[in-house]
Amino acid sequence: MEKLKGINLIGILVDKTRDHDFSGVIINQYDDRRIEFDSCMSMLNELDTIYDDWGFPEASSKTRSFTMHRSDLTNEGEAVEKKKLTHIAAETKPRDISEERGQVATFLLLTEMRQHSSWQGMVLHVEGDKRSRFDSVLDLLFLMDEALG
């Protein structure tokens, strides 16, 4: 059985599919949260938020904003420094997410870079025991759609 390992390993547990779209939950190895998503677009938004919170993989481009979000400020109005993934990994023993399964399919995602406003990395379709490289978000979605049949 193929395995993926990495500091930013993410599990995508697909529970339902409909018309080339899917829903399920996102898990990671550093906390027990199960982040629900109801479409591939919401999955991508949730993943982007996780990567931004972790600061890894670092995005090569930033979303412009002229205001600070309230969640990024302390009570005194100072900016809050988010904990970077390297600190989280050093402080927390990662849990094994490779045994978790979605009702329809399970993917393990290792995003190596976020460059050119897209992602590059590896995805493993667990049930199909197939590892694939992707060079864009579109590639990733095509690979997942192909595996979901």
Average pLDDT over residues 76-91: 61
Model pTM score: 0.80
Greatest mean pLDDT among 48-57, 59-68, 83-92, 140-149: 140-149
- The answer to whether residue 104 scores a pLDDT higher than 90 is yes
Per-residue pLDDT tens over the stretch 19-52: 999 999 999 998 899 999 999 999 999 999 998 8
CB atoms within 10 A of CB 125: 20
CB atoms within 10 A of CB 27: 22
Per-residue pLDDT tens over the stretch 112-134: 987 767 899 999 999 999 999 99
| Radius of gyration from C-alpha coordinates of the chain | 16
Domain ranges of the chain: 10-148
